[in-house]
Amino acid sequence: MTIRLTLLSRLIAKIVGSVGCQLGLRTMSACAIATVLSGQVHGQLIDGLVYSDDGAIGSAALASSDQQDGSPEVGQYGEGGLYVGPGGPTSIANVPSAMGPSPTSGRTRLVNQPFPTGPFMQNQPVYQDNGSAIPCPCDEGCDFSYYGQAEALYFRRDYDERFSLSQNIGIPPFDYEWAGRVTVGRVTDCVNGYEFVYAGPFKWQRDSSVTSLGGNLQSRLVPTGFLPAAVSAFNDASNHTQTYQARMNTYEFNRRWWAWDIFSTLIGMRVVDYREYYGFSSTGAGGTGIYEDFTRNRMIGPQVGGELMQPFGLRTLVGVRGKGALLANFSRNQLALQNAGLNVLGVTDSDVEVAGMFEVGTYIKYSLTPSIRLTGGYEFWYLPSVATVSGQNLNIVSPGTGSRVNADDDLLLHGASFGAQILY
């Protein structure tokens, strides 16, 4: 009868401890039930490994033969109880686990990875002091309270490759350019956290210039409501020079949640500042012409996102992530046209539109030490309903040109990221 009760208690403990905690049932009652039932197992971890500490519970542990070489913290057990959490070669999640002392509390705990390939130990473990009848409510904290990540971004702005106001020369497309991204976060209890993210400054520029000794360069400007003389300096010219620039900065403040080493979600606010400048200058027998347009988009709004992660071994993590933001776009356009010293146009307009920003990407992280990782990946950013230079129909020169900002263009940015992450 005693044997049957012992086997039954092991089975129930395995269901409650392994399945319940793994699915995120971290309430006081779930932890207490698992702890009380596990007390009948006489110090045996549910997956069959026996330790001297009575009352230790959990779904798995890593055998000595499976522990990573060179990790002195693995397999060390301190006094005062054990931290135990889901994981292990035979657990449902099939996530490797290892015992190690907590550097902050001095107590021994079960972490998901000796080299934490997830962001941290991503859920509160069940903890019980030796001799204690009631466990703490699963909130003993994490080994890491802060995290920081610095990355170099090598991004390109796509679209508008064919935009040019000169018939004789185009403008080369935007190339890949370097920017940066800094992430700083605070973790409160292995599940809840806050982070600030800045990416930028992105700077793209494309230029073109052409010269004709015969003075036969022609523009794409079409006067409507004006006489052809209003753009005379841009036709039959000896030189056409064009400059197209784009600038971008983005800021985020997120509330983030982690679920073990496989999933993370966030909700927060995002601010995006995107600007473009275009300049077209022409010189010739008809004089000098200057055509400039400046667009600005200041966007702010809520966003949601998530990450899905898959550990490969004890050092490597591969994941995908995505974000989506609904933004209010405070757009502005400023246009000026001079022809042979005369001001033809000089207008400014502002408007508010609904815009968005969507990110998707994949990445890989490699742990050099338990708290230092190298990161790399590739990402795509899509921004609908923004004001761009090419979207202002600058080739049509009329009294209404530039009097209304057009914020209905799309942007596609993509590129690689390289950096490092520190947990502390």
What are the DSSP calls for 279-306, one per residue?
Answer: EEEEEETTEEEEEEEEEEEEEEEEEEEE
| pLDDT tops 50 at residue 33 | no
pLDDT-derived band of residue 141, with 50, 70 and 90 as boundaries?
low
How many CB atoms neighbour CB 175 within 10 A?
Answer: 10
Distance CA 241, CA 219 (A): 11
Q: Which candidate, 273, 343, 264, places its Cα nearest to that of 304? A: 264
189 and 60 in a common domain: no
DSSP three-state, residue 40? helix
| pLDDT tops 80 at residue 390 | yes
Distance CA 129, CA 134 (A): 9
Distance CA 388, CA 400 (A): 18
How many CB atoms neighbour CB 123 within 10 A?
Answer: 23
| pLDDT tops 50 at residue 37 | no
67 and 20 in a common domain: yes
65 and 97 in a common domain: yes
Q: Could you tell me if residue 347 is inside a domain?
A: yes
Q: What percent of the chain has pLDDT over 90?
A: 60
Specify whether the CB–CB gap between 328 and 351 falls below 8 A: no
- Identity of the amino acid at 224: T
| pTM, two decimal places | 0.70
Q: What percent of the chain has pLDDT over 70?
A: 66
Task: State the average pLDDT for the chain.
Answer: 76
Distance CA 261, CA 113 (A): 9
**Main-chain dihedrals φ then ψ at residue 275, nearest 5 degrees:** -135, 150
Q: Could you tell me if residue 402 is inside a domain?
A: yes
Q: Which candidate, 121, 120, 118, places its Cα nearest to that of 110? A: 121
Instruction: Give me the pLDDT at residue 306, please.
Output: 96
Q: Could you tell me if residue 141 is inside a domain?
A: no
Q: Which candidate, 293, 275, 288, 240, places its Cα nearest to that of 401? A: 293
Q: Could you tell me if residue 137 is inside a domain?
A: no
List the structure tokens of 87.
Answer: 């994981």
286 and 405 in a common domain: yes
Specify whether the CB–CB gap between 184 and 148 falls below 8 A: yes
151 and 113 in a common domain: no
Higher pLDDT, 364 or 29: 364
123 and 239 in a common domain: no
CATH number at 170 reads 2.40.128
254 and 192 in a common domain: yes
Average pLDDT, integer, range 106-124: 37
155 and 17 in a common domain: no
Q: Identify any residues that bridge with 301 across adjacent strands, giving them in sequence order.
A: 270
Residue 350, Cα to own-chain centre: how many angstroms? Answer: 30
Peptide bond into 302 cis (omega under 30): no
Name the least confident of 5-9, 155-159, 335-339. 5-9
DSSP three-state, residue 369? strand
Average pLDDT, integer, range 350-360: 98
Distance CA 47, CA 22 (A): 15
List the structure tokens of 363.
Answer: 């990445």
259 and 112 in a common domain: no
Q: Could you tell me if residue 133 is inside a domain?
A: no
Last residue of a domain, one of 100, 128, 156: 128
252 and 214 in a common domain: yes
**Per the structure, how many domains does the chain have?**
2
Average pLDDT, integer, range 12-36: 39
Last residue of a domain, one of 128, 161, 180: 128
Q: Which candidate, 243, 239, 244, places its Cα nearest to that of 210? A: 239
| pLDDT tops 90 at residue 298 | yes
Q: Could you tell me if residue 140 is inside a domain?
A: no
Distance CA 216, CA 122 (A): 68
122 and 160 in a common domain: no
Place of tokens 């994490």: 142
Q: Could you tell me if residue 20 is inside a domain?
A: yes
pLDDT-derived band of residue 262, with 50, 70 and 90 as boundaries?
confident
Torsion over CA: 368, 369, 370, 371 (sign): negative
209 and 171 in a common domain: yes
pLDDT in tens, 192-225: 999 999 999 999 999 999 999 989 999 999 999 9
Q: Could you tell me if residue 139 is inside a domain?
A: no
Last residue of a domain, one of 128, 160, 192: 128
- For 201, the domain range is 146-423
Higher pLDDT, 131 or 254: 254
**Main-chain dihedrals φ then ψ at residue 80, nearest 5 degrees:** 105, 5
Strands 396-397 and 222-223: parallel
